[in-house]
Amino acid sequence: MAAVDLTTHPGHLARRLQQAHYLLWNTMVSEETTSPQFAVLNALAAEPGLDQRTVGERVGLDRSTVAEVISRLGRRGLLDKVRDPGDGRRFLLRLTDDGLRVHRRLAVRTARMNQIFLAPLSDAEQQTFFALIRRVADAAEGLRNPAEPLAAPH
């Protein structure tokens, strides 16, 4: 059997993109705050008072991952959990003053990192890239049974 051309495999290309993103993130943004942690900070900067489940949905993290991220951010003093007055079983999340400062600092750095990351593409290509990758990511989040492939758009 002949070798497979991995340049036609989305998973292989996504892994390569992720490696490049990770390298840029650690050198340009933060070695202390991960990209998923920043996503949670960003969601709470945009919508203070979200509950944990909603934060996970907003940033595309599963329940166990978002719980761990929130726990780590809480231990660092970047967010507070307060009991929901309408539902005592639920906690609402808010950034602390330190959390807001960290978010602002990292938001500036991520903007610069994204310029570097996307530099090989023109503005029009960047828009197309984002539209396509968002469509694939959104569809992938909707998968429940990987054995059943998604229908191609008509």
The domain locations on the chain are 17-140
pLDDT of residue 94: 97
What is the per-residue pLDDT across 89-137, written as a single tens digit (0 to 9) for each?
889 999 999 999 999 999 999 999 999 999 999 999 999 999 999 999 8
Residues 6+ apart with CB under 8 A from 8: none
Which pair of tokens denotes residue 150?
């998604």
CATH class of the domain at 17-140: mainly alpha
Mean pLDDT of 50-65: 94
Distance CA 55, CA 67 (A): 10
pLDDT of residue 26: 97
Which pair of tokens denotes residue 62?
């599963």
pLDDT band at residue 140 using 50, 70 and 90 as cut-offs: confident
